[in-house]
């Protein structure tokens, strides 16, 4: 066990391998991991994480196990981040007092710029601030700042598996051990980890998610006043930029936080100067510096992280869930994929004729060996035409297909009957041991 004494505004940065146990215990003072407070004396597992334990006022920490690296850093951007939180907090308070809309915040930036960590900090600080009383019309009431977290990053999947667009209300701190709440997320299955081949579907699902979030906000003043924190893809060039802009407009974002990149900041500032957000004011584009601690991940590390995320969906973050392996009759499975097959390029069509195939339609998929190792979404849809606009209930993973007996072996979260009879597939494959 090694002890570290941190002075105010310092952080202990470390990377803990997924194969080794590493724990942190707060011995004295106060400290937080991405905005979630550590409790004095309680041991927190850091296995498989790159992170920083930050202190505003100083603390003493004990580290057990062998992190891949560990060091104390005193140069962090957290003061500018908390100032940003304070501005958002004030806007939420005003919205709560007036029954209006709170800030919808989009966090944008290239890959490995600290977007997901920033979202976590903003959400955790917002949840912690809800215990501060708000003064409204001479009554002391409790602020209900439970912002909705929206994840449009199909590459990683912080709420659920990769390949999805998802949203969830955040009512309690997001800790390193438990992650985001999983009780009632709103999830749409895109089915791919990059938007390139299905950009129309990506736009369509962003619009669908936004319209559901709009109607939730219009039926609850608390939900509206708490606003949203939105994580986006790290793909910010070309098509990635167009999709980011589309999401900002569709969400009616009020604030766009740009991590690090000057070019993206300038592009967005110019392009959004007359755009009005949900609060009725011009969108504010703010540049923030990225933390020097943000880890750079190779494409194979990302792929491993995606596989780990899918495994975690079935087995839980600490392996505490017990999924079941079930044999299904292939002839009873109704599997579909989005799109109606490859479309001819416009240049190959007679002049004036539009491309006929529709990416927003679904096509039936014959259950075959091709589906082995695929992740399938279980849809709430009642008919195939409703598959794309319907949110999904959960996921199954195809472990094996036996074409002679027509049996499909699936891994499912529980032994209960599937909550829907239609399954949606994409291009996400993984191997779960």
Binding site for ligand ATP (CB under 6 A): 13, 50-52, 109, 111-117, 153, 156, 234, 291, 293-295
Instruction: Report the residue number, 261 or 269, with the smaller CB distance to ligand ATP.
Output: 261
- Residue number with CB closer to ligand ATP (244 or 424): 244
| 18 labeled part of a ligand binding site | no
Q: Measured between alpha carbons, how far is 9 from 24 in angstroms, rounded to an integer? A: 18
* 96-98-101 Cα angle (round to 5): 65
Instruction: Give CA–CA dist 115/127, Å, rounded.
Output: 18
DSSP 8-state symbol, 112: T
Contacts with 179 (C-beta within 8 Å, 6 or more apart), sequence order: 158, 317
**Lateral strand order in the sheet of 50-54:** 36-37, 32-33, 50-54, 11-15, 69-73
Three-state SS at 159: coil
**Cβ closest to ligand ATP, residue 33 vs residue 143:** 33
CB 45, min distance to ligand ATP, A? 15
385 carries a ligand binding annotation: no
Provide, rounded to whole angstroms, the least separation between the CB of residue 54 and ligand ATP. Answer: 8
The tokens for 59 are 């603390």
Residue 94 assigned to a binding site: no
Q: How far is CA 19 from the centre of its chain?
A: 24
* Nearest residue relative to ligand ATP (C-beta): 293
Whether residue 112 is annotated as binding a ligand: the answer is yes
116 marked as binding residue: yes
How big, in percent rounded to 5, are the helix, strand and coil portions of the chain? Answer: 25, 30, 40
Measured distance CA(112)–CA(293) in Å, rounded: 10
Q: Which is nearer to ligand ATP, 94 or 112 (CB)?
A: 112
- For residues 228 and 410, which CB has a smaller minimum distance to ligand ATP in the complex? 228
Q: How far apart are CA 2 and CA 39, in angstroms?
A: 18
The response to whether 114 counts as a known ligand-binding position is yes
The smaller minimum CB distance to ligand ATP, of residues 261 and 399, is found at 261
Does 117 belong to an annotated binding site? yes
Question: Least CB distance from residue 145 to ligand ATP, whole Å?
Answer: 22
Annotated binding-site ranges = 11, 112-117
Annotated binding-site ranges for ATP = 11, 112-117
């Amino acid at each position: 066990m090694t002890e570290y004494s941190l002075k105010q505004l310092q952080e202990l940065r470390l990377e803990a391998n997924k194969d080794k146990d590493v724990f942190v215990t707060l011995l004295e003072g106060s400290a937080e991991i991405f905005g979630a407070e550590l409790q004095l004396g309680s041991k927190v597992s850091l296995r498989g994480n790159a992170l920083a334990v930050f202190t505003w006022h100083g603390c003493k920490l004990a580290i057990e196990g062998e992190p891949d690296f560990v060091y104390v850093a005193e140069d962090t951007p957290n003061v500018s981040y908390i100032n940003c939180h304070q501005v958002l907090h004030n806007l939420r308070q005003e919205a709560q007092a007036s029954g209006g809309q709170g800030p919808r915040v989009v966090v944008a930036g290239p890959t490995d710029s600290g977007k997901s960590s920033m979202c976590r900090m903003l959400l955790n600080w917002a949840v912690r601030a809800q215990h501060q009383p708000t003064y409204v019309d001479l009554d002391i009431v409790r602020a209900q700042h439970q912002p909705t977290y929206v994840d449009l990053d199909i590459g990683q999947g912080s709420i659920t598996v990769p390949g999805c667009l998802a949203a969830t209300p955040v009512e309690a701190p997001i800790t390193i051990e438990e992650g985001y709440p999983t009780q009632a997320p709103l999830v749409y299955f895109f089915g791919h980890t990059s938007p390139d081949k299905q950009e129309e579907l990506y736009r369509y699902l962003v619009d669908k998610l936004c319209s559901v979030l709009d109607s939730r906000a219009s039926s609850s003043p608390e939900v509206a006043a708490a606003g949203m924190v939105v994580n986006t893809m790290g793909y910010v060039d070309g098509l990635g930029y167009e999709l980011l802009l589309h999401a900002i407009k569709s969400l009616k974002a009020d604030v766009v936080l740009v991590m690090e990149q000057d070019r993206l900041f300038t592009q967005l500032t110019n392009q959004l100067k007359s755009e009005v957000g949900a609060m009725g004011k011009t969108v504010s584009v703010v540049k923030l510096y990225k933390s020097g601690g943000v880890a750079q991940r190779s494409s194979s590390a990302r792929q491993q992280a995606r596989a780990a995320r899918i495994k975690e969906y079935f087995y839980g973050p600490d392996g505490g869930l017990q999924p079941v392996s079930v044999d299904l009759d292939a002839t009873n499975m109704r599997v579909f994929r989005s799109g109606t097959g490859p479309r001819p390029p416009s240049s190959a069509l007679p002049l004036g004729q539009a491309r006929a195939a529709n990416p927003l339609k679904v096509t039936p998929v014959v259950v075959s060996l091709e589906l082995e190792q695929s992740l399938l979404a279980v849809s709430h849809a009642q008919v195939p035409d409703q598959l794309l606009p319907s949110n999904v209930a959960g996921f199954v993973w195809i472990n094996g297909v036996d074409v002679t007996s027509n049996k499909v072996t699936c891994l499912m979260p529980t032994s209960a009957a599937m909550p829907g009879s239609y399954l949606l597939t994409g291009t996400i494959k993984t191997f779960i041991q």
